[in-house]
Amino acid sequence: MIRQVLLSLIAAGVLFSGTGPAAAQPPAESIVQAEILPGWETERGTHMAGLRLILAPGWKTYWRAPGDAGIPPRFDWSGSSNMQAVATYWPRPEVFERNGMRAIGYVREVVLPLELTPERAGAPILLRGVMELGVCHDVCMPMVLELRADLPATANPAPIRAALAARPQSATEAGVGRVTCTVEPIADGLRLTAEIPVAPMGGEEVAVVELRDPAIWVSEPQLTRQGNRLIAVAELVPEAAAPFALDRSSVRITLLAGPRAVDIRGCEGR
């Protein structure tokens, strides 16, 4: 079995605490366990693997865009051998409220499919990585997972296939029409207004706006609905705190509502 067993805190302090000092918190290995699932070779010559995270009862971890109350996960695979690229696929997350702020992530267990592109097709891949992530219960804290696996290897592919099937629908699959974005300057950046032709998804609808540049802060979008048209308004603030040129093709909007999720890539000008 290929397992990951090295886990350590990357900070001694607690980010948000309601129950006492960091020294009183449970050890890291009792909060989250991680395992690399070996997966299979694809027809494209890549290798589909998976990262399974198992959380202790009551603990949560975060999606790629965790919301204002979350800690963004980050990967570093530079220690790997025969590795050209890694693509991470994110199953549909859940939306949580914490202290009046929104967080987006997972509870109990999640499998993140990893598509590995080797430098030399057919040769073994030595996967060596570090994942920075946040976990949250009564306290929220950052952690580091050190990940190791030698691929290929034999394993049950079912958890990875299930995670791939749990990804958000594409805009085409969800019947989303032509998405348009208007942009106006504000004192420290831009205001983005996206008009999304999509039928009501059921339940409370949440939108997440992402850009390719992670240094640009994106506010939690404000949503209004006009029949089969959803309007999302968000503020985009770069490090320079000034208006900037926005590539609309870089805008990514995820819609979440109960068990449904839709992944929209890019928008057009009006």
Q: Which amino acid is at 185?
A: P
Q: What is the pLDDT of residues 178-191, one digit of tens each?
A: 999 999 999 999 99
Query: What local confidence, expressed as pLDDT, does residue 27 receive?
Result: 67
- CA-CA distance, 198 to 177, in Å (whole number)? 7
Query: C-alpha 185: how far from its chain's center?
Result: 28
Residue 19 has pLDDT above 80, yes or no: no
Q: What is the pLDDT of residues 197-236, one digit of tens each?
A: 999 998 899 999 999 999 999 999 999 999 999 999 999 9
Return the higher-pLDDT residue of 210 and 5: 210
Please check whether residue 196 is in contact with residue 255, taking contact to mean a CB–CB distance below 8 angstroms: yes
Q: Once rounded to an integer, what is the mean pLDDT over residues 64-73?
A: 90
Residue 251 has pLDDT above 80, yes or no: yes
Residues 6+ away with beta carbon under 8 Å from 250: 211, 212, 213, 266
Please check whether residue 9 is in contact with residue 148, taking contact to mean a CB–CB distance below 8 angstroms: no
Which residues are registered as beta bridge partners of 226? 229
CATH number of 6-165: 2.60.40.1250
Query: What local confidence, expressed as pLDDT, does residue 263 receive?
Result: 98
Average pLDDT over the chain reads 89
Q: Where are the domains of the chain?
A: 6-165, 169-265
CATH number of 169-265: 2.60.40
Please check whether residue 234 is in contact with residue 177, taking contact to mean a CB–CB distance below 8 angstroms: no
- CA-CA distance, 132 to 3, in Å (whole number)? 18
Residue 119 pLDDT level (bands cut at 50, 70, 90):
very high
Task: Report the candidate in 188, 194, 47, 70 with the shortest Cα–Cα distance to residue 136.
Answer: 70
pTM: 0.87
Tokens, residue 104: 């987006």
Q: What is the pLDDT of residues 131-156, one digit of tens each?
A: 999 999 888 889 999 999 999 887 78
Contacts 24+ apart (CB under 8 A), 18-27: 18/138, 18/139, 19/138, 19/139, 22/139, 22/141, 25/139, 25/141, 26/56
Phi, psi of 50 (to 5 degrees): -150, 150
Q: Which amino acid is at 269?
A: G
Please check whether residue 4 is in contact with residue 147, taking contact to mean a CB–CB distance below 8 angstroms: yes
Query: What local confidence, expressed as pLDDT, does residue 12 receive?
Result: 27
